Amino acid sequence: MKRTIGHLTILVKDYDEAIAFYKEKAGFELLADNDFGNGMRWVSLAPSKESQAAIVLVKADTDEKLERVGNQFADHVGIVVETDDCRRDYEAMKAAGVRFLGEPNEVPWGIEVVFEDLYGNRIDLLQHNGF
């Protein structure tokens, strides 16, 4: 049996500001932006078109959802973005205005650094060493 994770949902306050962050600052690619009317859109982005999984942006349309924007994973990393060069991507993203919670650090499983999206969700940028 083959199984994969296809999409991860991130609650956002505004589709367009979130798209701008992920594309312009984090370097993601917009995979889909379909407007279904009545404020409903299917928006998905991924680190690259070759990525196995994508982030789907969902506009927070209730008070309960708005309370969770930026805090879906509490203070824990909720998503891991794997890269072939953590330091290169760190420098490019930092220059674009991404907020990092430190600098790339060597760990037993590779090189990693945590950054926050525009709402404060924590994302790990990881150069995996095959461990």
Arithmetic mean of pLDDT, 51-73: 95
Residue-range domain boundaries for the chain: 7-128
Higher pLDDT, 77 or 130: 77
Neighbours of 117 (CB within 10 A): 21
Summarize the chain as % helix, strand, coil (round to 5): 20, 40, 40
Write out pLDDT tens, residues 21-48. 999 999 999 999 999 988 889 999 999 9
Global pTM value: 0.92
The pLDDT, as a whole number, for residue 85 is 97
Q: Quick one: fold of 7-128?
A: 2,3-Dihydroxybiphenyl 1,2-Dioxygenase; domain 1 (3.10.180)
Say whether pLDDT at 131 is over 70.
Answer: no
Strand-pair partners of 56: 9, 44
Phi/psi at 93 (nearest 5 deg)?
A: -70, -40
Phi/psi at 124 (nearest 5 deg)?
A: -95, 130
Strand-pair partners of 116: 99, 122
